[in-house]
Amino acid sequence: MSNQEGLVRYKGSDRLNHWLIAVLFVLATLGGLAMFHPSMFFLTGLFGDGSWTRILHPFIGSAMFVLFVLIFFKFWHHNVLNANDRKWLSQIGDVLNKNHDRLPEVGRYNGGQKAAFWVMVLTMILLVVSGLAFWRPYFSHYFSVDVTRVAALVHAVSAWVLILTIIAHVYAALWVKGTIGAMWTGVVSRAWARKHHPGWFKEVTGGK
Amino acid sequence: MAIQALQVVAQSATTMTPPASAAKTVHVAKLIDISSCIGCKACQVACMEWNETRPVIGDTDGTYDNPVELGANAWTVMKFNEIENAQGGIDWLIRKDGCMHCEDPGCLKACPSPGAIVKLDNGIVDFNSDKCIGCGYCVAGCPFDVPRISQTTNKATKCTLCSDRVSVGQEPACVKACPTQALTFGPKDDRIKYANERIKDLNGRGYDKASLYNPQGVGGTHVMYVLPHGDKPTAYNGLPADPKISSTVGLWKGIMKPIALLTMAATVFAGVIHYAIKGPDTVDDDHDDSKKS
């Protein structure tokens, strides 16, 4: 797992999957916002026009979901919240103030990353299920108008929560230096791992 | 009806102030006097003729409803229902289904495409196919389950109240074809007066619950019914007793829109402020190796 230069955190296939999901997420968000708020309707121009935005959006979202299912089965067991994670989350003030010495030991993922993972899982399931109810012309006719109304609201609320979560996810990656490299090259420095994920550092290096 | 230069007073996905002159425009209405309707379907035929809609020949469901439902090419459909009356006999209720042209249209509220749905100053609610993106949100917005998305064009369709005819001083095609004056068209105030005369007449003939259907939950409608059984609107093939724009649609198209965009912008802004004040979380010695620890 380790070498002289650094520690391997993500394999090539994981990185490829992550960035495909990231691109699809951006496209789904731009198209979704265009159909959500009139002030964002100009974004339909990115996809051709309003009709093309409406046609493409569910396909983009479905592709994102399928790829996320792969990530889910590969990473869910790294994201089970334990007592340390709950303590970490309750000390979010110390996290934001960079008081690393006061925080409980973090493993492969910290409490924030794990919480974000589960929010993504939940919202993406809700998005796919609710989206089916008003995906025209393929699935909407299986659902009553009452169901469609609730689905549209659930879809919008889930998307809103997911977008906020992704904003936090992106900010955390920008703020904690050395993190983007983990997903870009797959390798992190030993010092980065010791500081931000000491539990994981011990696990992969044997505590050296 | 005189010729009117129609102006748009409300558009989907657009914040606008109606032109001041629009306030003077006479509101129109179609009155459907169910007590005078003989169910001949001349209105359906005239609608198809004028609007050149030709629904595909379907299957009968064993009733007189034909086609069975409103469709992208069937903007008005006669619905037949039977109820047992107080005397133990059967009343045959016939209702001409179609767009009600709400004063507060749920379709327009739900539509995400600017200008795809408009309300004209005389009260007509019209769809603009060029701007329609086929999402079907209007279907969710409508309390009367009226709009249909065409399978061929993927555009939303419904009764236009023959806005093209009305703008040149003609009555809608269905009204012109009606042989019993069950359908009448004109200024809304006049139609309400006429409806009240009809209701008085019905009251004298034993229909003491007869009433005008002009539901205030959607601000009133520009298609109104005289219902002989005014206490039982739902008996007329599920005509809603108190139609309103669904509260789910109200949340989705109301308070949620500004809250969602503001919180997204605020979250990004919070990140910028945090980064500016606290600075990045760096690893002091990035070339650290195992000797130190």
Check which CATH number belongs to the domain holding B22 and give it: 3.30.70.20
- Averaged pLDDT for residues B17-35: 93
B284 in any annotated domain: no
Put simply, the answer to whether B248 touches A192 (Cβ < 8 Å) is: no
pLDDT value for B291: 45
Instruction: Tell me the C-alpha to C-alpha distance, in Å, between residue B77 and each of B14, B98, B192.
Output: 32, 7, 23
Q: What is the pLDDT of residues B141-161, one digit of tens each?
A: 999 999 999 999 999 999 999
What range does the domain containing B18 cover? Answer: 8-245
My answer on whether B167 and B256 are in the same domain is: no
Same domain membership, residue B138 and residue B37: yes
The verdict on residue B288 lying in a domain is no
B83, B207: one domain: yes
Q: Do the chains contact at B139 and A145, CB–CB below 8 Å? A: yes
> What domains, with CATH codes, occur in chain A?
12-182 (1.20.950.20)
Domain boundary among B203, B220, B245: B245
Q: Based on the fold, state whether residues B74 and B206 are members of the same structural domain.
A: yes
H or E stretch at B62: none
Residue B90 lies in a domain: yes
Q: Which of residues 47-86 of A touch B (CB under 8 A)?
A: 49-51, 53-54
Nearest-5° Cα angle at A137, A28 to A30: 15
Answer yes or no: do A178 and B283 touch at CB < 8 A: yes
Q: How confident is the model at residue B235 (pLDDT cuts 50, 70, 90)?
A: very high
B219 domain residue, yes or no: yes
Question: Does the beta-carbon distance from A149 to B249 stay under 8 Å?
Answer: yes
User: How many Å lie between the alpha carbon of B111 and the closest alpha carbon of chain A?
Assistant: 9
On whether the CB atoms of residues B109 and B10 are closer than 8 A, the answer is no
Asked whether residue B285 is assigned to any structural domain, the reply reads no
Q: What mean pLDDT is predicted for residues B113-118?
A: 97
Same domain, B172 and B261: no
Read off the pLDDT of residues A64-100 as tens digits, 9 standing for 90 and up: 999 999 999 999 999 999 999 999 999 999 999 999 9
> Does residue B289 lie in a domain region?
no
Which of B224, B245, B266 delimits the end of a domain? Answer: B245
Contacts of B139 in chain A (CB under 8 A): 145, 148
Whether B222 and B258 map to the same domain: the answer is no
Put simply, whether A160 touches B (Cβ < 8 Å) is: yes
Q: Average of pLDDT values for A181-194? A: 94
| Pair (B184, B255) in one structural domain | no
Please indicate whether residue A169 is annotated as part of the active site.
yes
Residues B263 and B156 in one domain: no
B131 with B271, same domain: the answer is no
Whether B63 maps to a domain, the answer reads yes
Residue of B12, B129, B133 for testing the chain A interface, max A β-carbons within 10 Å: B133
pLDDT level of residue A206 (50, 70, 90 thresholds): confident
Same structural domain for residues B50 and B160? yes
Q: By C-alpha distance, which of B56, B90, B100 is closest to B217?
A: B100
With respect to residue B144, please indicate whether it lies within any of the assigned structural domains: yes
pLDDT grade, residue B273 (50/70/90)?
very high
Exposure class string for B213-246: b at 16+ Cβ within 10 A, else e: bbbeebebbbbbbbbbbbeebebbbebbeebebb
- Which residue of chain A comes nearest to B282, CA vs CA? A177
Pair B252, B241 in one domain: no
How many domains does one find in chain B?
Answer: 2
**What are A91-114's pLDDT values in tens digits?**
999 999 999 999 999 999 999 999
pLDDT tens, A104-154?
Answer: 999 999 999 999 999 999 999 999 999 999 999 999 999 999 999 999 999
A29 interface with B at CB cutoff 8 Å:
no
Q: Looking at the structure, do residues B221 and B132 belong to the same domain, yes or no?
A: yes
Nearest CA in chain B to A33: B261
The lowest-confidence range among A2-6, A51-55, B226-230 is: A2-6
Which of the following is catalytic: A57, A100, A141, A169? A169
pLDDT in the model for residue A207: 65
The predicted model gives B173-200 an average pLDDT of 98
